[in-house]
Structure 1
């Protein structure tokens, strides 16, 4: 990737030159009181900024720690995201604790630190999940508002299907009626690879084991089908490009970037509850701290890592733990920072008899620079697409022995246990080993999407500029281990089908060198990384429940004037890529907020 270093440096430099509608320093704000102060301009915060300012009588301030997304080439170019964005200047470069179930490896754990948040750096896979996922949320929160029949309107309001970049006929690859008319652009791959037909033919000929899925947004989330990406016209479509940037000219919206929120502050009580209406912030650890006031609500949209950290720094969390750090406890909510869930990913490689994979593109700077030049000319070519063309979401057999020990944790029969992301390369974006200097590969990125393992997040100290202690606790549950073994064996059966004869020539890598269940689990411990899907660290629960952090309206329990809208409130992680669910939540939250202040 060395040929891109110049472009990457230029793009990051451009990111520092912001539009006049963005403030880069708190001193540029013309007022210190707003109706709503939104902390974080990620997938949720950008939606909220757009929808709340539709009411011209509402004044809104959005505070984002990162830079603008504009001019950052590796954000804009769909194919480049997995290679350059993780652990860069546009991410929170978190790391985990040594993972005791992954041979004590410390994992990188990046989150978006840029307008659009992680929607600006993710792999762009778009799956809303099964209808059952939302019905389960409704059951867990004892609130029918989260049932699919009630949130469907927000899915259709958030995204729309657009043609692939090559403009070809996509009949049979997608169902237009499963899509809406919202601002997020969604498309199927514009340059089919030589593995695509093999994937789809294997599915259609397999019978019930690998069923074909026409569209991932149908409500049935099990099957094999074309990957749908948040991209349109050869460019990433993020919360920033779709929701935030189009409304930056609204006079009732201010967006302050390069500024970190250090805590929220209570100012008096109402009905015996502390009222959190002040937000403290600073440019960096050494700079002066400023406060702004929200006359209606402070809304935390800082993500599953940032939101619980801010809550605990503000005295909201486990009082016993907070007191050990000399933090005055305002509200005792022991669930803050607990129940962290994420999807573990690892790559299973196969060698192939082909010269048409992405491997040469990734290892040859001359080829890559030529492709980049084509993209910069007219947003076309291979770089205008995400690096994966097909995916599968599948279930373990109902008679799998693991179900003698564990109840099925999925939301229902239309929800998967594991995922395959097919890549015509050596695992770009999901590999823990360097790319081989020679050879061509097919990769199954294998993901456990129904994990039972639970982790947590704790404060390292009282400095808001120090990263918290993050323990996703991957692979802790025997169920997760059994799903990974079943998925690896399913991947091997998949490539034994007729369409792969003469194409797949062998197994490759530590995972595919394993044979017994124990060997596969041992290899997994050396290979698993995060797929960047942390959720549930401030989970919502029934209104009167003694557990949880927010009620079903996303209001922080025991507080006034404080709401959370981000993936931290998920009661349980969905079996899919969470960004679509996040847009649904943010759209519904916008209506909840508008209605409460009508």
Structure 2
């Protein structure tokens, strides 16, 4: 057992002695090795935490896995095993205070994946943040809650030839997954949200609860400019174009995650076992379905280190693979499922040829744009002064009010390219429809370090994080090792498509136009850094290549397609094509990348998957 695993094992023994929750810290503790469903939330070992509470601790799968574990275990006759890495968020203030979410990257709560060198970003490697903690990435993300355009869901219905993925059919899962609550400061939210289009689900959602000096200016600019920058009261009504107040998965000034919303209420159920600190190392073929030659998978292998002898566990009904855009294709490949020649080159015996496994990886490329501002009220002062920071943190801990109740950004915009954009001479519109944007802007009242530029030692700033939400660049996730404890190779291929290059330059020009309008007079000073001299399109593109980043919206490595289509990895019901016994439920199945932040769509597909499973087995 590795030192990391051993330390965590000892820590878990202490935790288990202080809580009545049914937690298994080792496969050796399994009382049974057969369950109705096995939910695989990740494939990695758990990290011991530096900060934690010794009361009310909980552990479980990531975002989609949390939903499935909770929904399936609602039936007391159904036995569910959740196998997951990741530690509890309880008592870790960085996972609870929304403002501190930006501090969770490259920590023990992050998988700490990195890309291969990115040609589009001057061969730089980028960090990819994925949650290594209870609730998965819903515990470490920046909380933005976007359901996606109506056009997005209708396009998925067309791509998959399945009306069950349409906006009309998916509406109930939007309503079932979340509910709108008052912001932390309980201010009047008239014309900032539309309560009638929200539901009554477990995830709490609100607009910002700590107004900033940017908010009014952003909305005034939108109303003044109109045109490509219209004001939209509530993007989650389904028309995802315009400038709006951002909605986030925050309730009562605290993060609302898959852990807090779905799993805490489910944890004491006797039919739900939770196995932590454990890798799923392989999906095991157990036969051929009804003698037709279709491989059947009902068994998983688990271990806590590469030195351990794997233990097998059986799913009587289904294995539910929710390991994420990176972990899902990695486990499929390790199990002999994927591109035939790639498997044979690694000495893996091919079982099922699916050439799309790990392919079509997509993410939203992004660039932070910084301006010096005439203000003493930005959050920059807190980042430079430990005393002020500690005082503000103490204020949040005592009252759940103040700066820390929000992710660093209260307003966002989704903008379409100009109708006469010259790029359309070479590319068709890649968006799902006129109700979806091509570009995103998030307005932040301070210097938000999303790229390689360090926090300036003096001055006050605003940041506009710009992204392309309809990228055409595609990469891959693959493996160059048969050791399941090794990280895979990850290549999102950022900015390799000319469309993406054009669009990111247009986003910079849109930001410059937006901030040059009269509501910003006397407030915005000069652009910061090399952007100041990037006066041509070519120079702007070089600026992006030097400082560009991503928004951690990885998708598409196990795409959903019609059942009879030769492309894709899963069918319309998320069942692994050409096999029996495996269903995949995470962002890897997205047939196209959403033109928005993706956590709400993940919850929605997980809710629908739970219903599909219940219907199939009459639960």
In 2, the alpha carbon distance for the partners of 1:344 and 1:433 equals 17
Pairs aligned (count): 584
- Are 1:156 and 2:154 counterparts? no
Q: Deviations over 1:112-156 (max 9, x none)?
A: 111111011000011111000011001111111111111111001
Q: Where do 4+ consecutive residues of structure 1 move more than 4 Å?
A: 13-16
Check the 8 A contact 2:284/2:297 in 1, yes or no. Answer: yes
8 Å Cα contact 2:38-2:80 kept in structure 1? yes
8 Å contact kept, 1:511–1:524: no
Q: Distance in 1 between matches of 2:541 and 2:77?
A: 57
Aligned to 1:412: 433
Deviates more, 1:15-24 or 1:557-566: 15-24
Q: Deviation digits for residues 418-466 of structure 1, max 9, x if unmatched?
A: 10010011124x1321100001111110111000000001102000000
Residue 367 of structure 2 aligns to a residue whose secondary structure is strand
Match of 1:565 in 2: 585
**Higher mean C-alpha displacement, 166-175 vs 18-27:** 18-27
1:207, distance to aligned residue in structure 2 (A): 1.9
**Counterpart in the other structure of 1:17:** 15
Deviation at 1:171, TM superposition (A): 0.9
Mapped partners of 2:507, 2:167: distance in 1: 28
Judge conservation of contact 2:13–2:25 (CA < 8 Å) in 1. Answer: no
Secondary structure of 1:123's counterpart equals coil
Give the CA deviation at 1:16: 7.9
TM-score of the two chains, using structure 1 as the length reference: 0.96
CA distance in 1: counterparts of 2:71 and 2:380, whole angstroms:
43
Distance 2:24 2:387 in 1: 39
Does residue 544 of structure 2 align to residue 546 of structure 1? no
Contact 1:124–1:231 under 8 Å retained in 2: yes
- Equivalent pair of 1:301/1:307 in contact (CA under 8 Å): yes
* 1:589 lines up with 2:609 in the alignment: yes
* Contact 2:12/2:25 (8 A) holds in 1: no
How far off its partner does 1:287 sit? Answer: 2.7
Out of 358, 365, 387, the position equivalent to 1:366 is 387
Choose from 319, 323, 327 the match for 1:302: 323
- Which runs of structure 2 are paired with 1:163-562 in the superposition (5 Å)? 163-270=182-289, 271-428=292-449, 430-562=450-582
What do residues 553-575 of structure 1 show as CA deviations (whole Å, max 9, x unaligned)?
00000110111000000001000
Q: CA offset at residue 14 of structure 1? A: 9.9
For 1:460 and 1:419, locate their aligned partners in 2 and report how far apart those are by CA, in whole Å. 35
Mapped to 2, the partners of 1:262 and 1:511 lie a distance apart of 46
Q: Conserved in 2, the CA contact under 8 Å of 1:16 and 1:68?
A: no
Q: Determine the C-alpha separation between the residues in 1 that align with 2:335 and 2:163.
A: 31
Q: Is the 8 A contact 1:335 1:547 kept in 2?
A: yes
Aligned counterpart, 1:35: 36
> What residue is the counterpart of 2:65 in the other structure?
45
1:78-93 matches, within 5 Å, as 78-82=98-102, 84-93=103-112
* 1:75 corresponds to which of 84, 88, 95: 95
Displacement, 1:549? 0.3
Q: Partner of 2:114 in structure 1? A: 95
Which residue does 1:578 correspond to in 2?
598
CA contact (8 A) 1:15 1:68 kept: no
Match of 1:217, SS? helix
Residue aligned with 2:606, SS: helix
| Cα distance in structure 1, aligned partners of 2:581 and 2:147 | 30
Q: Give the match for residue 50 of structure 2.
A: none
Looking at structure 1, the residues matched to 603 and 275 of structure 2 have their Cα atoms a distance apart, in angstroms, of 22
Supply the distance in 2 between the matched residues of 1:229 and 1:110 (Cα, whole angstroms): 18
Contact 1:262–1:310 (CA under 8 A) maintained in structure 2: yes
Q: 1:15 to 1:113 in 2, by over 3 A?
A: farther
Contact 1:15-1:72 within 8 A present in 2 as well: no
User: Contact 1:62/1:256 (CA < 8 Å) preserved in 2?
Assistant: yes
Which has the larger displacement, 135-144 or 24-33? Answer: 24-33
Higher mean displacement: 208-217 or 335-344: 208-217
Please say if residues 390 and 422 of structure 1, whose CA atoms lie closer than 8 Å, have aligned partners that are also in contact.
Answer: yes
Cα deviation, 1:177-225, whole Å, max 9, x if unaligned, reads 1211000000111110011000001011112121001012110000001
Q: Of 121, 130, 148, which aligns to 2:149?
A: 130
Q: Aligned partners of 1:14 and 1:528: how far apart in 2?
A: 40
Equivalent-residue separation in structure 1 for 2:532 and 2:555 (angstroms): 30
RMSD across aligned C-alpha pairs, in angstroms?
Answer: 1.3
Q: Which runs of 5+ in 1 are unaligned?
A: 1-12
Give the TM-score normalised by the residue count of structure 2: 0.93
> 1: distance between equivalents of 2:571 and 2:89?
33
Q: Please list the CA deviations of residues 281-327 of structure 1 after superposition, one character each: whole Å capped at 9, or x if unmatched.
A: 11122333211100000010000000000000000001111001110
Structure 2 stretches lacking a partner, 5+ long: 1-10, 42-60
Q: How far does residue 512 in structure 1 lie from its aligned partner after superposition?
A: 4.1
* In 1, Cα distance between equivalents of 2:14 and 2:377: 38
Give the deviation of 1:581 after TM superposition.
Answer: 0.5
